[in-house]
Amino acid sequence: MRSALLSRLAMQSELRRAVAAGEFVLHYQPQVALENRCINGAEALLRWRHPERGLLYPGAFLPQLEEHPLALEVGRWILDEACRQAAAWRDAGLPIRKMGVNLFTAQVRSGTLTLDVADALQRHRLSPEMLELEITETIFLKVDEPVLRPFRDLHRRGVGISFDDFGTGYASLSSLKRFPLTRLKIDRGFVRDLMTDQHDAAIVRSIIQIGNDIGLDIIAEGIETADQEARLLEMGCKQGQGFLYAKALPAAQFEDLLQGFGPRQKIAS
């Protein structure tokens, strides 16, 4: 217990230093139309450029960051930086139509989410339709009326709201009626075994059917093979992201990807 406590305190100290030193960066993974592999969006993903351990992925630090007092500050930075980058690509004439940003629980509970989003959009002259906020089930299950209010307001303004990793936990189907969603994301865990596990295939098919029937966009994560892509298309899924198209890339490399593909060109497998 003492060792775990010391490790946690050390991580909290490192996270505080990381924020002060600007060690966090965003990488971007393309989201594509499965039918023609045209890029139609990007998801901003947090990375930590650790001075000693190199580039760290969220699994190494995100649970601790979520509970850190600086989570709200980092979340606001992610939102602002993602909007700034989307506006820069738009101004350069690059084919990017939507930017996905993951929210921290601290942002949802802050009481300033609507204002934070509006400020970021206004500061970077970004259309609300170009931003999509992604929420996890952890947030979804704790939603009450005061928390729903800003999401409804943002939804009315045109901001997209996506439920990430749908189907992996305890969120009830009735929750889809309460929350002002625009998109469901199929978890990579279901996509991974789509071709070999009939249960996963049935779950994916059901999510796609439900989403399509209630007017939500559907996007599948973790697509790695052309067979998975073809099966998802056959099931009625129209959008996806995964290593088949590209891993999450630093902004400069993602821009090179966009430069190489016009709005009607495809990402090769």
**Could you tell me if residue 243 is left (phi over 0), alpha (psi between -120 and 50 degrees) or otherwise beta?**
alpha
Q: Domain limits at 212?
A: 24-259
**Residue (of 27, 26, 32, 25) closest to 242 by Cα position:** 32
pTM comes to: 0.91
pLDDT for the residue 164: 87
CA 129 – CA 20 distance, rounded (Å): 32
- Tell me, what DSSP letter sits at residue 53? T
Note whether residue 234 is domain-resident.
Answer: yes
Instruction: Judge whether 11 lies within some domain.
Output: no
In a domain, 2, yes or no: no
Over 80: is that where the pLDDT of 175 sits?
A: no
Helix/strand/coil percentages in the chain, nearest 5: 50, 20, 30
Q: Is residue 100 part of a domain?
A: yes
* Nearest by Cα to 217 from 98, 80, 85: 98
In terms of Cβ atoms closer than 10 Å to its own Cβ (0-12, 13-18, 19+), residue 173 is exposed
Residue 16 counted as domain residue: no
* pLDDT, tens digit, 9 for 90 and up, residues 27-84: 999 999 999 999 999 999 999 999 999 999 999 999 999 999 999 999 999 999 999 9
What CATH number is attached to the domain comprising 173? 3.20.20.450
Assigned domain for 264 exists: no
Q: Is residue 111 part of a domain?
A: yes
Total tally of structural domains belonging to the chain: 1
Q: What angle do CA 135, 58, 79 make, to 5 degrees?
A: 50
Residue 19 lies in a domain: no
